[in-house]
Amino acid sequence: MGFKIGDLVRFVDEPIEGHITSFQSNDLIGVTDDTGFEIPVLASKLTLVHGNMRRDDDELAEHAEEVPSKFIEKGILLAISGDHKDGLAKLHIINETSYELLVSITDTNINKAKGIFAEKVSKHDSVQFYSGNFATVGKWPTFRFQIIRHSNTLQAIQNPIVKEQRVRPVDLTNPKEVNNILGEKVWIYELDKEEEDLGLDKLKSHFISHRPNKK
């Protein structure tokens, strides 16, 4: 059976469940349970718990009343839920927009990448794509996001989003924000935020405008 990072699995011989957080040598898989401890276990001793990832056809009625009439263009977020005291962090893609998203996430290392997640994320919905231990934030992957926005109504052309994001331990000392889709407080990164273009001309004009006047 093929497993991937973030899958919810159950031990065959023990009443333990957890999320896959690493792949190790000798066919061992690291599974982090709700206590935040990573347990190495043979792949043959694990079984996948189906339904841990939300799909586009899950609970449509739940969000029917949340869909606004106005088309929302912004709000593609990386969100981190959980508490340091509990140990386990869960990473989500949140789609607050009116677009359907086609999302590919890879673990990048120099010029190479390994796929972590590839799926559609429905509008006004979220999907968990990774889990890890708060104690090892510095060892989490550098996530590379490739996102295509799709709508069956006439909208302005949007270029695909290509962005790399690394979660730093210092980021998780900032206050959390309430997210209505997840229904809890989370740390967020705006993946569709437009980066300011600090071109050479802008830098020149900035320094010239702030140069002291000669008397």
Please give, one letter per residue, the 3-state secondary structure of 10-71: EECCCCCEEEEEEECCCCEEEEECCCCCEEEEEHHHEEECCCCCCCCCCCHHHHHHHCCCCC
Q: Are residues 183 and 78 in the same domain?
A: yes
Q: Tell me if 205 sits within 8 A of 196, measured CB to CB.
A: no
Residues 43 and 77 reside in one and the same domain: no
What's the whole-model pTM score? Answer: 0.64
pLDDT tens figures, 113-148: 999 999 999 999 999 999 999 999 999 999 999 999
More confident residue, 64 or 147: 147
- Give the other-Cβ count within 10 Å of 29's Cβ: 22
pLDDT beyond 50 at 2: yes
Residue pLDDT, tens place only, 9-30: 889 888 888 888 888 888 899 8
One domain, residues 136 and 165: yes
The 10s digit of each residue's pLDDT in 85-107 is 889 999 999 999 999 999 999 99
Residue spans of alpha helices (H) in the chain: 60-63, 200-209
CATH number, domain of 125, equals: 2.60.40.1600
Q: What is the pLDDT of residue 55?
A: 47
| Same domain, yes or no: 180 and 141 | yes
Asked if 34 and 82 sit in the same domain, the reply is no
Q: How confident is the model at residue 178 (pLDDT cuts 50, 70, 90)?
A: very high
Q: For residue 1, give the 3-state DSSP assignment.
A: coil
Mark whether 33 and 108 lie in a shared domain.
Answer: no
Domain that holds residue 83: 62-190
Q: What is the mean pLDDT of the chain?
A: 85
CA 200 to chain centre: 33
Determine the average pLDDT of the residues in 58-67: 51
Do 84 and 117 reside in the same domain of the chain? yes
What share of the chain has pLDDT > 70, as a percent?
81
pLDDT of residue 213: 56
Is residue 57 in a domain? no
Total of domains in the chain: 2
Q: Are residues 90 and 164 in the same domain?
A: yes
In a domain, 151, yes or no: yes
Tens-digit pLDDT profile for residues 144-166: 999 999 999 999 999 999 999 99
If asked whether residues 83 and 153 sit together in one domain, one would say yes
